Structure 1
Amino acid sequence: MKTRVIILLAIVLSAFALRPDRIINGTVKDGANAPIAGVSVSIQGGGAGTVTDRTGRFSIRIPNQARALVFKKAGYIPLTMPVPSDSVLNIVLTQKTLKAEVLADEQIKQSEQPGRVSKSLAFNRVASAPATFSGAVMQMSVPTESYKPINENGFLSVSQQPVTTFSVDVDRAAYSNVRRFLNNGQMPPEDAVRIEEMINYFDYDYPQPAGEHPVAITTETTDSPWNPGLKLVHIGLQARSVSTENLPASNLVFLIDVSGSMSETNKLPLLKQAFKLLVDQLRAEDKISIVAYAGSAGMVLSPTSGSEKKTIKDALDKLEAGGSTAGGEGIELAYDLARKHFLPKGNNRVILATDGDFNVGISNESELQKLIEEKRKAGIFLSVMGFGMGNYKDSHVETLADKGNGNYAYIDNIQEARKEFVQEFGGTLFTIAKDVKIQIEFNPAHVAAYRLIGYENRALRNDEFNDDKKDAGDMGSGHTVTAIYEIVPKGAESVYVKTTDTLKYQQNRTLTTSNSGEMMTIKVRYKKADSEKSVLFDLPVKTESVGFEKCSENLRFASAVAEFGLLLRGSEYKGKATYADVIQRARNAFGKDEEGYRSEFVQLVKAAQSLDGSQGTARK
């Protein structure tokens, strides 16, 4: 009899184990039946997650062993629900109020008394921000995350410094990292807010290059919405788009961190899902290798055709986290594989996926930079995909990507992975123009002072513009780059412009453009992907300014993102900026927004507004 019971139990358990994963679809709404975008949906106890779209909808793959789903969003009480037996789950989240939070805490306390279990809360014991009588939300610290200090650009006098130079930046990691903080109910550290990366996270409708150059320039000038009397100059660069079938073959090496710090749900499990999306985009002519590193590094997959998708995905599935991090050793092995299978006319690239915690191996940052720069000169580029939180080393991985002629992204959910590896596949992996630099000369007859918003980490000396040995940012297929200057017109007064003595030897110089209608001249220098010699072209910009409401959606939305960044940083140049103004102007510039990114932006601004106000510590 005992043997029969054991056999029957084994059959039941094996049937359960073999039950396939399933997909659950649903919506999340508030008490007024309005959809909520940006709600984090995850599997309790670990596993991949997702985020609701602008209509409040979500879709998530559920493993057979999953028991509950967790729903979280800043400003709402977290909710944990048992996995339903059917494939549809509709959720209602309650906004955080003192009464609601106190009631929830009281119910949890009652349910935890011996012998008592509240059925309604049996699946709702989720840690939320502690409630206080002031309604404040306590902000979690980030003691082990590191960010490069940002010394915000100030206004420069044209009479003293008429020329400014910077490198383009197509990285967007700062935006998704800021989103991660806000979705977790925290204001981001000020140095995590790189405004240029927030602006460049979004696509803009700039004209495609029509001439000989692979990059086109678009400009607009209007009034500053947050500093009356000042002007905004919006500069848009558009890289030529190349269809996927016309892109060169790829020799890619996935370099994957499997150290112990990568074991969390939003690290290695999310990483695997993200790279599988990339694998789905590969062609037969593309070759993929996989190197994993922890206490030591090893090859997980030898070069494999992109047509063998199952083989590549199986190799990814076998990865497990554990051990310390030998990042340097892993990079050396990955570069060695890329070199051995180098494609002279192809795309040779190492894609590093990590939380940035390099603590063993070549841990010296200058040595790592030297190695990456040497390989870059040999035609092997490096892109970095950051994952996770807690020990996230943003400052480290950003530097590595910059030195490797690659882009840097922070992947906080599967939607972001889809954006990087599916929607923007060409831009992420295929370089159209490298070492792209911008130099602007302002005409003192029309401009008294200027300030570049963001790009603090991308500033170049003016003499470096003509130096082909000086590294700069790269633009991939279809990439856009947006820069915004705030200027003080000639004759206008501004509290931001300090009085300086007139230059003794410059005051009598002849200004050949003093009576012209040119406000400034933009010069762009770039190299073709297969060349080390730069190409130069320029574009004079007239003084014409149009009313803000008559400007393109590109300018209006980009300026809203810039203003949001000023608020998050507590910038001294934010003037009359407010969250309400950001929301209103962004809503009026959604455009098509087919993927809902601009709609999601408004939800993040609302979250920041709630956090900043409820804490009583609005950044100044």
Structure 2
Amino acid sequence: MKSILLLIIAFSFSQISARTITGTVIDESGLSLPGVNILVKGTNTSAQTDIDGKFSIEASKGDILTFSFIGFITEKIKIKDQTILEVVLKESRESLDEVILLQNDAERSLSGVVSGISYANPPENTESYKPIEENIFKRVGNAPLSTFSIDVDRAGYSNIRRMINNGQDIPVDAVKIEEMINYFNYDYSQPTGNDPFSINTEVAATPWNDQTQLVKIGLQGKIIPLDDVPASNLVFLIDVSGSMNSPNKLELLKSAFKLLTDNLREQDKVAMVVYAGAAGVVLEPTSGNEKAKIKEALQKLQAGGSTAGGEGIKMAYKIAEEHFIEGGNNRVILATDGDFNVGASSDRAMEDLIEEKRNSGVFLTCLGFGMGNYKDSKMETLADKGNGNYAYIDNMQEAKRVLGTEFGGTIYTIAKDVKIQVEFNPGKVAAYRLIGYENRLLNDEDFNDDQKDAGELGSGHTVTALYEIIPVGVKSKFLKEVDDLKYSRMKNKDFGEELLTVKFRYKEPDGNNSKLITKTVNSPETEKEPSEDLKFMSAVALFGMNLRESEYSNNCGNDVVIDLAEAGRGADGDGYRAEFIRLVKTYE
């Protein structure tokens, strides 16, 4: 009895002495460090800094907090009477094997130790990605038109960030340069006319090749205040199969969807479908003001069984169609690791299913989670073919961005089937290559074909495309000789300083006929200093080329990437550009 009483007293004392410790983690230059892992030593209590480097964790007097981040020396602080900490981490040049990472509640090191358990044979990595054949330089005389669909997806960047932070090798086909560039926001003007986006262009010297120039083509989607967004008819389609049984999958997914729920309004309705061995409805359409009911349904979700993804998609679309809101925002939001293995599981079968369903007027958002068996190829297929967008959520900070800060752009489309076609002036441009967008290329005749599907633009979204061009008269090792064409002589008409003409086609979200916008881009009269945005996106593009070991990088290493990114960091109010710089340094 006495021993039990002592235990109760000791437990009560520990509960009383436990308190919330808050603070900020910065580097030696004073920049905040997002994603720093914090652990109460000897326990499973952990936290992670947000995008501003801030954290909050429960700890008691005498506890030791460890602060760890790849590329930095781990810091240990013993808690005394303080409740607020400012922690400065110093950069480390030592082996990354000594750095401890946290995957939510699981302590994991690069040596293969997870939660104190050593894995001699780690689980097989079965992640899959669509093959990418890097775009080459094309002669304007042979191919004057370049046609492609826009890509607002940003999954490529957050997925690569996850791999770098985990010390993994990066598959070449996981590097989608356009998604890396489009992860960041740029200083583009808001549209002022009737069209739902503005067009922003710029021409400057290429940082990695003094014989070429870069052409930037940027779209800025109109920002629609959430109060002005039409009523939403949403169906959460959630994968609860056995492959989702992981803290960075289903548990992270639940937290992410709770964030989304906080943004719902009374006029919005949410239903919830789950699928494992079979598909079922766990929440009938519910008003957005019943947040507690929606969150309770999320909290009850548990993982187990195989993955009947095809059946889940059919059921989710059926509910969305039955409760369709004319003039409203009708959307299925799919959350999964993409590991379909029952029913319509092949990429071709899933593509056919989604193409059929998109004619219903219901849009699609795909949210990817997890690692090891992540199926990016299937997620990309679903988003591309289903009038949708696609994000990869690697941590709560990304969840807050996708489903919190940029909630409107994630769930509300302002223009669909957006295509771009660029015609180059052969009097000024000898050759060009589109950087990225390899899986978004279209046939030239597809541009005027309103039956051809293309990408969607969400509220406030930006889309950027970079072309590297070789001016007429420049001899380049990338410009291979070809015979003159016998039957296709270029016209002698002089187009002055016109460098190219860019055309855009788009449809209203509920429209069937496209609208055309045309813009001419001239050669700059004098060589201008590139904008901060162009410097930064050039850094991101070059980093992507280096990850792909591209011949077009001209052997410019990541030291050039860092210099460009530093020069183009600008105000960086959200800290994402600083995070990119740290990521490149970590990779090095």
Give TM-score, length-normalised by structure 1: 0.84
Q: What does 1:376-415 correspond to in 2, within 5 Å?
A: 376-415=358-397
CA distance in 2, matches of 1:299, 1:87: 45
How far is the alpha carbon of 1:575 from its aligned partner?
A: 1.2
1:371 aligns with 2:377: no
Structure 1, 241-250 or 360-369: larger mean CA deviation: 360-369
1:539 aligns with 2:534: no
C-alpha spacing 1:125/1:446, structure 2 compared with 1 (3 Å): closer
C-alpha spacing 1:21/1:402, structure 2 compared with 1 (3 Å): farther
Matched residue, 1:50 = 48
Matched residue, 2:316 = 334
CA distance in 2, matches of 1:336, 1:155: 46
How far is the alpha carbon of 1:77 from its aligned partner?
A: 5.5
Segments of 5+ residues of structure 2 without an aligned counterpart are 101-105, 113-121
29, 34, 37: which one pairs with 2:33? Answer: 37
The Cα RMSD (Å) is 3.2
How far is the alpha carbon of 1:88 from its aligned partner?
A: 4.2
C-alpha spacing 1:28/1:158, structure 2 compared with 1 (3 Å): same
Matched residue, 2:584 = 605
C-alpha spacing 1:81/1:314, structure 2 compared with 1 (3 Å): farther
CA distance in 2, matches of 1:334, 1:561: 37
1:244 aligns with 2:238: no
Q: What does 1:139-150 correspond to in 2, within 5 Å?
A: 143-150=125-132
User: Alignment partner of 2:564: what SS?
Assistant: helix
CA distance in 2, matches of 1:100, 1:194: 26
CA contact (8 A) 1:39 1:72 kept: no
Matched residue, 2:549 = 570
Matched residue, 1:522 = 502
User: Alignment partner of 2:198: what SS?
Assistant: strand
CA contact (8 A) 1:23 1:59 kept: no
Matched residue, 1:75 = 71
CA distance in 2, matches of 1:456, 1:497: 20
548, 563, 569: which one pairs with 1:584? Answer: 563
Q: Deviations over 1:378-435 (max 9, x none)?
A: 1111110001111111111111111111110001111111111121111111111100
Counterpart amino acid of residue 26 in structure 1: G
User: Alignment partner of 1:149: what SS?
Assistant: coil
Counterpart amino acid of residue 608 in structure 1: Y
Matched residue, 1:303 = 285
How far is the alpha carbon of 1:455 from its aligned partner?
A: 0.3
Matched residue, 1:184 = 166
User: Alignment partner of 1:573: what SS?
Assistant: helix
User: Alignment partner of 1:59: what SS?
Assistant: strand
User: Alignment partner of 1:420: what SS?
Assistant: helix
How far is the alpha carbon of 1:143 from its aligned partner?
A: 2.8
C-alpha spacing 1:100/1:153, structure 2 compared with 1 (3 Å): closer
Q: Deviations over 1:442-486 (max 9, x none)?
A: 110000000000000100000111111111000011111000000
C-alpha spacing 1:372/1:203, structure 2 compared with 1 (3 Å): same
Matched residue, 2:491 = 510
CA distance in 2, matches of 1:81, 1:59: 14
Segments of 5+ residues of structure 1 without an aligned counterpart are 106-123, 131-139, 610-620
Matched residue, 2:183 = 201
C-alpha spacing 1:427/1:161, structure 2 compared with 1 (3 Å): same
How far is the alpha carbon of 1:515 from its aligned partner?
A: 4.3
How far is the alpha carbon of 1:152 from its aligned partner?
A: 0.1
Counterpart amino acid of residue 557 in structure 2: T
CA distance in 1, matches of 2:148, 2:508: 19
Counterpart amino acid of residue 383 in structure 1: T
246, 252, 263: which one pairs with 1:281? Answer: 263
Structure 1, 171-180 or 79-88: larger mean CA deviation: 79-88
CA distance in 2, matches of 1:243, 1:491: 49
439, 460, 464: which one pairs with 2:442? Answer: 460
C-alpha spacing 1:88/1:327, structure 2 compared with 1 (3 Å): farther
Q: Deviations over 1:128-169 (max 9, x none)?
A: 449xxxxxxxxx997311111110000000011111100000
C-alpha spacing 1:100/1:417, structure 2 compared with 1 (3 Å): closer
CA contact (8 A) 1:40 1:183 kept: no
CA distance in 1, matches of 2:96, 2:346: 50
Matched residue, 1:59 = 55
Matched residue, 2:454 = 472
Matched residue, 1:28 = 25
Q: What does 1:71-470 correspond to in 2, within 5 Å?
A: 71-76=67-72, 87-88=83-84, 95-97=91-93, 127-129=109-111, 143-470=125-452
Give TM-score, length-normalised by structure 2: 0.89
CA distance in 2, matches of 1:164, 1:100: 43
C-alpha spacing 1:573/1:306, structure 2 compared with 1 (3 Å): same
Matched residue, 2:103 = none
C-alpha spacing 1:293/1:88, structure 2 compared with 1 (3 Å): farther
CA distance in 2, matches of 1:302, 1:264: 26
Structure 1, 304-313 or 486-495: larger mean CA deviation: 304-313
CA distance in 2, matches of 1:228, 1:469: 41
Counterpart amino acid of residue 224 in structure 1: T
CA distance in 2, matches of 1:346, 1:360: 33
CA contact (8 A) 2:204 2:215 kept: yes
Structure (1 or 2) with the greater strand fraction: 2
CA distance in 2, matches of 1:573, 1:141: 35
462, 474, 479: which one pairs with 1:497? Answer: 479
Q: Deviations over 1:238-284 (max 9, x none)?
A: 12211111111101111111112212111111111111111111111
User: Alignment partner of 1:275: what SS?
Assistant: helix
CA contact (8 A) 1:72 1:79 kept: yes
CA distance in 2, matches of 1:99, 1:205: 38
Counterpart amino acid of residue 540 in structure 1: T
Counterpart amino acid of residue 557 in structure 1: F
Structure 1, 175-184 or 320-329: larger mean CA deviation: 320-329
User: Alignment partner of 1:337: what SS?
Assistant: helix
561, 585, 590: which one pairs with 2:540? Answer: 561
Identical columns (%): 52
Counterpart amino acid of residue 516 in structure 2: L
How far is the alpha carbon of 1:608 from its aligned partner?
A: 1.7
User: Alignment partner of 1:283: what SS?
Assistant: coil
Counterpart amino acid of residue 517 in structure 2: F
CA distance in 2, matches of 1:299, 1:95: 50
C-alpha spacing 1:223/1:267, structure 2 compared with 1 (3 Å): same
Matched pairs, number? 570
